[in-house]
Amino acid sequence: MIYNPLSPPPAPPPASGANYSAEHGCFEGPEKLLEIWFSPSPVIATSTPNLISDSSLDASDSDLSDISTPTTPNCDTFCDKNLRTVEKPVWDAMLATVKCTVLNVIHNSHVDAYLLSESSMFVYPHKVIIKTCGTTTLLHALPGIMNIAKTHCGLDSVYRLFYSRKSFMFPEKQPDPHRSWDKEVQYLDSYFDNGAAYIIGDTNADEWYLYLTTPAHHSSFDNNSNIRGLYQQQHRLQGLIKDADVDLTWMGDEECTWTRTDGEYFSRFQRFDYRSNDETIEILMTGLNPKAMEAFYQQGDEPTGIPGGQRVDRQTGLDKLYPSANVDSFLFEPCGYSANGLLEDGYYTIHVTPEPQCSYASFETTIPSQPIRHPGKSSKGSQADATRLLIRQVIDIFQPTNFTVTYFASHRDQHKKNASQMVLSDDEDDDLVSDVDVEQLACMMGTLDMYSGYRRKNKILHVFDGYDLVFGHYSQI
């Protein structure tokens, strides 16, 4: 574990800050997560439904005049004028609309990781991931981020957008547009005409919400004859997984849509640091063991901030998760913890609210799990084995009463596929040749295995355009 050199960060926000619920004396731990991928406009010059103009910015979101500068670099300068070249004061102005501030920043050759007063932000050349907790107004960042991308980098088209969150503990304390999922979807739909919203899991307790858009460059077609081929793939996958309690969901069974993919488009995108195999694992935990949470409180008169965060890492074993990562961890006063870690082009982030009446912790990583070599054996274990071990390590540290795992992964080598792999054959109209990767899905489903001491309440698979998602929820026995 490599720590960022100490720098004098601002004082941590007090526990009585605006994002705490004065009535309940609790902090809203579950985060809102927004991820925006941009594409250079010349690639999709013939189709730009997400083009952002000054008139489309809602003045009610706040005064964004500090964010814009009158410059619009062309595609030739994309590599020089990308999101990582945006100066910190510009991001500070955007984050003010969300009601959070920057505590510290670390970098590597791929990404900038911002530790925030309420969680984290990661800036890549082509995309921004921002995760905020409490009563922050995360979606108010959307017009600001798109305006920054356009005015500073010439990126005026959104390639993909993901927005997700767990159900809130205190939903009545959230400001607009976060008072309800319906309001959040309505807000996002006001910017995008290619988005879709889903509610996943137990709608009585631990549901998880997802909104995502599809790439605007895709051309699609609807054909009910696709359904037979789709169910054939479903049958193949169900037989391979052999798991009777799996809820296997194919998005759009009644409006089956398959897309043509322009292979050249994806190959051009690789220049801009898009991963050909993108994956994210998130573990959301509630009801944390009070004894395990003692480490996340200030110890006597110890310094908080970065020194306190480093003590937490050592004491809890968090420093063992990714020993080679560059880590930026922070202990709040009198309690609470956040950390960002960078390893090549991947990141991980951890956030902990330890108070027993509202305890919550989240762990998210985009660092691919590496198959484990077992002593005395010539072959490696599977990637699923490595991911299961990572999940086990995390839940052993926090010892939650309940936890949810979400695992997103892009379709492998999608940029190498061509239209004939994605659409109905001209010779056999009723034979769908799908891009579904059964082997990958089986591996992903294998990560949601049984964990000692916990009962798995559900295990759900969703197949989206370009991505697969597995979702599992567990309760302590």
The predicted structure's pLDDT at residue 249: 52
The predicted structure's pLDDT at residue 105: 97
Instruction: Examine the pLDDT at 15 and tell me if it is beyond 50.
Output: no
User: Can you tell me the distance from the alpha carbon of 216 to that of 275, in angstroms, rounded to the nearest whole number?
Assistant: 18
User: What is the rounded average pLDDT of the residues 49-72?
Assistant: 37
| Highest mean pLDDT out of 8-17, 346-355, 433-442 | 346-355
The predicted structure's pLDDT at residue 439: 78
The predicted structure's pLDDT at residue 264: 34
Cβ contact 471:208 at 8 Å: yes
Higher-confidence residue of 256 and 116: namely 116
- How many domains is the chain partitioned into structurally? 1
Instruction: Examine the pLDDT at 316 and tell me if it is beyond 90.
Output: yes
- The sign one gets for the Cα dihedral 31, 93, 365, 422 is positive
Higher-confidence residue of 85 and 202: namely 85
The predicted structure's pLDDT at residue 426: 33
The predicted structure's pLDDT at residue 2: 67
The predicted structure's pLDDT at residue 391: 96
Confidence label for 125 from pLDDT (cuts 50, 70 and 90): very high
Phi, psi torsion values for 264, nearest 5 degrees: -65, -35
The predicted structure's pLDDT at residue 325: 96
What residues have CB less than 8 Å from 414, skipping those under 6 apart?
Answer: 261, 266, 276, 435, 466
Helix axes 383-398, 438-447, angle to 10 degrees: 20
The share of the chain scoring above pLDDT 90, in percent, equals: 49
User: What is the rounded average pLDDT of the residues 1-23?
Assistant: 44
β-sheet with 112-116: strand ranges across: 102-107, 112-116, 119-123, 127-132, 32-39, 157-166, 208-213, 195-200
Higher-confidence residue of 416 and 290: namely 290
User: What is the rounded average pLDDT of the residues 331-352?
Assistant: 95
Which of 442, 440, 448 shows the shortest CA–CA distance to 471? Answer: 448
Q: Is the pTM of this model over 0.85?
A: no
Kindly report the number of other CB atoms within 10 A of residue 466's CB atom: 17
Which of 362, 365, 361, 412 shows the shortest CA–CA distance to 390? Answer: 365
Higher-confidence residue of 40 and 223: namely 40
User: Can you tell me the distance from the alpha carbon of 339 to that of 57, in angstroms, rounded to the nearest whole number?
Assistant: 32
- The sign one gets for the Cα dihedral 6, 11, 16, 18 is negative
Instruction: Examine the pLDDT at 418 and tell me if it is beyond 50.
Output: no
3 state DSSP class of 308: helix
The predicted structure's pLDDT at residue 301: 92
The predicted structure's pLDDT at residue 442: 83
Q: Pairing relation of β-strands 400-410 and 360-365?
A: unpaired
How many residues are there in the chain?
477
Bridge partners (DSSP) listed for residue 114: 105, 121
What residues have CB less than 8 Å from 351, skipping those under 6 apart?
Answer: 29, 31, 119, 120, 131, 133, 337, 338, 339, 361, 362
Kindly report the number of other CB atoms within 10 A of residue 127's CB atom: 25
Task: List, for residues 320-338, the tens digit of each pLDDT value.
Answer: 999 999 999 999 999 999 9
Q: For the chain, count helices (H), then strands (E).
A: 9, 22
Q: What is the mean pLDDT of the chain?
A: 75
Cβ contact 299:311 at 8 Å: yes
User: Can you give the CATH number for the domain in which 135 is found?
Assistant: 3.60.90.10
What residues have CB less than 8 Å from 388, skipping those under 6 apart?
Answer: 446, 447, 449, 451
Please give the residue range of the domain that contains residue 355: 2-476
Phi, psi torsion values for 389, nearest 5 degrees: -65, -40
The predicted structure's pLDDT at residue 415: 41
Cβ contact 355:27 at 8 Å: yes
The predicted structure's pLDDT at residue 424: 27
Of the listed ranges 155-164, 267-276, 358-367, the least confidently predicted one is 267-276
The predicted structure's pLDDT at residue 216: 63
The share of the chain scoring above pLDDT 70, in percent, equals: 65
**DSSP state, residue 235:** H
Task: List, for residues 215-234, the tens digit of each pLDDT value.
Answer: 865 433 333 334 344 445 55
Higher-confidence residue of 465 and 16: namely 465
22: exposed, middle or buried (C-beta count within 10 Å: 0-12, 13-18, 19+)?
exposed
